[in-house]
Structures are given as C-alpha cells and as structure tokens.
Amino acid sequence: MPSEARLRELQLECHADDIQLTEEMLSWPEERAREYLLSGGEQLDSLQPPAGHCAPCESREGVVYTAWRVWDGLSDVCMRDAGGALMCVAVLGELIAFVGSLAELPAELARLNRVDYGDATIMPGLIDAHVHIEFDPRYGLHDQPELSVSQHDRQMQVRAAAMARHGITTARDLGGRGGAFRLREQIRSGACIGPRLLVAGQAVTRPGGHCHQWGGAAKDETEMVKVIQRQVANSADLIKVMATGGVRTAGTNPAQSAFTSKEMRIAVACAAAAGLRVAAHAHGVHGIRACADAKVGTVEHCSWVDERGRWGCVDRKCAAALAQAGTFVCPTVPASWGQSRFQGLKQTMGAAYRVMLSAGVRFAAGTDSGAIPNVWHHQLLDGLLVFGDAAEMSAAQLLRCATSEAAAACALEATTGMLTDGYAADLLVVPGNPLRPAHPQADFFEELERSLRHPLAVVCRGMHIEPCQPPASSYPAWTASGDVRACACTLTARGQAPST
C-alpha cells in the first residue's frame, strides 16, 4: 500500500495535480492508485458506461445544452444571440440536431430535456491526430513491459477514459503492434469509455528502421505493398509510413530518408486503392520532400532536419508544395518545449512553423503520446499551448488545429470537428470564453487554458462523459505538509523531449 509521501509522488508522476487525494487511497494497491490518477480520477470499475450516466442519448429524449456562447469550430469569435437569448446545441442520439439561439429552437426540439451552463461556451470536442495508445509513457517506446492481453487492454482503457474526460473526443493512433484495433472495437461497442479512435496498425518501415519492432518492415516495393495490404485486411483506418529515421529507435537517423519519392508514391497509391490516406513520419528535409512529392495526407513532426542535424531548416519550395497538395502537418510539440532548456529549439521550430503558415500549410494538433516518455495521452492541451505560442497563432487559429482542421486532417471533415446540424455530437462545454481574455491585461492563451483545462461537460458521439475534476478547493489535512499543486507545473511536463 502506498504511503502518503508515495501518493504525492504518484500524483506528480501522473501530472494529476487536479485530482484530490483521499485517505481511502492509502488502502489501495499502488498500481490501482496510479491507474486512478492516470485516468483523471476515473474509478476503474466505471470505465464501462453505466446506464443513465454515460449512455448515448435516446432519440426520443435527447438533450438541449444551453450557454451564453457557442463556438462552431470555424469562426474567429464565439456566437451570441443579439437579443440576449441563450445559445444552444440540441443533441438527438449520436448527432447534433440544432445549433443556434434558444429563441429559434424548433418546437419539436423545445420539449427536450435542457441543461444550462450559463457563462460558458459550447464548442466541438478536441481531436488528437497523433497518439500511440498501446504504449505506457512511463517507459521508453521500445522498453515497454510485457503484459497479458487483458492487462494491456485494461491499461489502454484507462488511457482512453482519461482522454475522453479531458475533452478529447477523437484520436488517431499512428502505430503499434495491433492492440489499438482491440481498443477501437471496445469503444465502438460501448464496452469502455473513450474517444472515436482511428487506427493505423503496423507502420511501414525499413528493416532495422524506425519502429521496425512493430512488425511492418519492408525491404522493397513488393514487401511495402504486402505490409499495407495486411493493415487493410485488419480494417485499418489509415496507413502509417516511416519516411525517415526516428529519434527513439537506435541505429536510425532522423535526417535520413527511409524511402524514395517513387516508393512513397507507391505507398500512397496502394493506400488510396483501399480508400485510405497515408500519414508519414518525417523529420528530415529529404524525407519531407518525398512526402510532398507523393502527396501524403499528413506529415508527422515535419522537423526539417538537414544533413548536419540542424532542425528547422525549412525548404520554402517544399512547404509551398505541401500546401498546394493539401497535405496537413501534425507537429507533435510536447509541453517540455516550454521549459527554458528547450527555448532554442522552440524558437527555431516556431520560425519554421510561421514559414509554413505563410505558405498556406494547414496544421493539426497531436501529442505523440505514448511514444515520448512522460507525455500522457490526456495532455493534448499542454503541448497545444506551447505550439500556439511558438507559431504565434491566435486563440481561434490554435483551437481550429484541434477541432475542424484536425478533423479534415483525419478525413473526418464531414463527421466531426464542427458544431453543425447532422454532425456527430462531439462537444465540450467550457467555462467563460476561450477566445477572449477575461480582462484587457490577460493573455489570450491564459483564458484558453483556463477554459479548456477543466471542461464543465464532455459529450462524445452523444455519450455524456463525466469530465475531469477541477482543482480541489482543499486537500485532506494529511497532505498539508507538501503542496502538490505548487510542485506540479501547469504548462510543462518533466522529462519530455523532442518528438519520436
């Protein structure tokens, strides 16, 4: 059983300063306490949706959510009713039935149960376009513990529940050994709580290349096609290709290309034949050029590493080609770039992001959680804020990266990422106005963080999910000797490093 001091250590390790510690936790096994903290305070026995609490809305009942404002996922400002009426979003089953002023709500929807949040904003759920749900952030990417299938499933379910409770309603899993396929089906069937999950399966890579341990190595074009077809047979939602070496696989070089432009075009064509897009891991300049030439769907990391190992060496012509091809970039900026020791890298890459923005490149938010040690799967907001600061984005630009733009990057632009009639009922209710500072001297991102850190409500595909707990107003007396909240950094996470 953990001691009081060990519980406080676990709270810091799990970045769970918002979860109130209780005396009951002293009687729990340490692993149970860890999973509880990692899940955002979710009791392990409640990962399955209980009737009436996390069940999808019945179409004969439905819900009308009301608040002062609505942000649709596209606009630069939140919408309010000119006459002072509340704004609302009506949900029937898994879909949005109406978005607009409560004064204009159709009569057939006015009879639905109504939940009012007052001075708050209803907005689309968040999207993390780059996760690795199979992997435990406490360990290195290739140093994961051996687990039984049931143990692994339980850990993935805890991570998925934590993501949903922190407002992430869609996620794209970009590689692993196959466990994410099981989790996707468990979420779809309602066996556990979690975001809509898109799964790539085994990544296509070279023998000995980045993440070859996952089983997707291909030495030539023929084997590349076989790996892709194997993922298609497993019902993959997209294809992942390691276009360059990686940071976390020994013997590979992030600056070096793994595949030629011709091979990348073959991968894209093979995926397209199955109706799928390609997400390409690419750090090096030459690999990014091959991705642009092949017109991949997304470039992950896009670090612009040159042959001398320097990051942020943008090829402006290539950036323009990415924009013209409609290729998205998912930069996977970790919160640790906000620390002083990473300021040089943050400034260098921030300049690169601004060059890409000026060229018309579109960005999607992603964490690379599970692959980067100590980047937890529910921490999308932490890295997002650092990325927005580095790229000098407005609050609306940044939020679009995690909603409507991310949806388009995931080929879900007709399904989610926006609040509009007929779209999936993926939404958050957050306090205040995330797009406007609370007072003239406040920073835009301060209000954005304040709003999104602890949502008032989370709805995922029409399912009501209990949001993560707000900071405790007071801690139990036995924790008074150590101020956990003061020790846990809000915008940075210990031990994080550059992307994989």
What pLDDT, on a 0 to 100 scale, did the predictor assign at position 45?
A: 44
What DSSP designation does 466 have? Answer: P
Comparing 32-41, 128-137, 193-202, the range with the smallest average pLDDT is 32-41
> Which pLDDT band, with edges at 50, 70 and 90, does 480 fall under?
very low
What pLDDT, on a 0 to 100 scale, did the predictor assign at position 26?
A: 76
| Residue 185 confidence (pLDDT) above 70 | yes
H-assigned helices in 122-275:
149-165, 179-189, 221-233, 261-273
What pLDDT, on a 0 to 100 scale, did the predictor assign at position 432?
A: 95
| Residue 201 confidence (pLDDT) above 60 | yes
Give the residue with greater pLDDT, 498 vs 76.
Answer: 76
Comparing 46-60, 169-183, 400-414, the range with the smallest average pLDDT is 46-60
Give the residue with greater pLDDT, 476 vs 200.
Answer: 200
- Single out the residue of 132, 183, 125, 201 nearest to residue 419, CA to CA: 125
Give the residue with greater pLDDT, 310 vs 4.
Answer: 310
Q: What are phi and psi of 376, to 5 degrees?
A: -85, 155
To the nearest 10 degrees (0 to 180), the angle between helices 221-233 and 261-273 is 30
Domains of the chain in sequence order: 4-41+470-487 (no CATH), 63-120+417-465 (2.30.40.10), 126-409 (3.20.20.140)
| Residue 102 confidence (pLDDT) above 90 | yes
CB count within 10 Å of CB 225 equals: 17
CB count within 10 Å of CB 98 equals: 22
> Which pLDDT band, with edges at 50, 70 and 90, does 44 fall under?
very low
What DSSP designation does 394 have? Answer: -
Average pLDDT over residues 353-372: 98
Give the mean pLDDT of the chain.
88
Q: What is the pLDDT of residues 6-30, one digit of tens each?
A: 878 777 766 666 577 877 777 777 7
| Residue 173 confidence (pLDDT) above 50 | yes
- Single out the residue of 134, 137, 287, 275 nearest to residue 205, CA to CA: 287
What is the percentage of the chain residues whose pLDDT exceeds 90?
79
CB 181 within 8 A of CB 199: yes
Average pLDDT over residues 425-437: 94
DSSP codes, 253-296? -TTSBSS-HHHHHHHHHHHHHTT--EEEEEEEHHHHHHHHHHT-
What pLDDT, on a 0 to 100 scale, did the predictor assign at position 483?
A: 26
Name the token pair of 25.
């936790």
Comparing 190-204, 366-380, 407-421, 477-491, the range with the smallest average pLDDT is 477-491
Q: What is the pLDDT of residues 298-347, one digit of tens each?
A: 999 999 999 999 999 999 999 999 999 999 999 999 999 999 999 999 99
Q: Give the separation between CA 295 and CA 321, rounded to whole angstroms.
A: 9
* Long-range pairs, 441-446, Cβ under 8 A, ≥24: 444/394, 444/395, 445/385, 445/388, 445/389, 445/395, 445/398
| Residue 438 confidence (pLDDT) above 90 | no
What DSSP designation does 57 have? Answer: P
Q: List Cβ neighbours of 348 (8 Å cut-off, separation of 6 or more).
A: 311, 312
What pLDDT, on a 0 to 100 scale, did the predictor assign at position 56?
A: 43
Q: What is the pLDDT of residues 226-268, one digit of tens each?
A: 999 999 999 999 999 999 999 999 999 999 999 999 999 999 9
Q: What is the pTM of this model?
A: 0.87
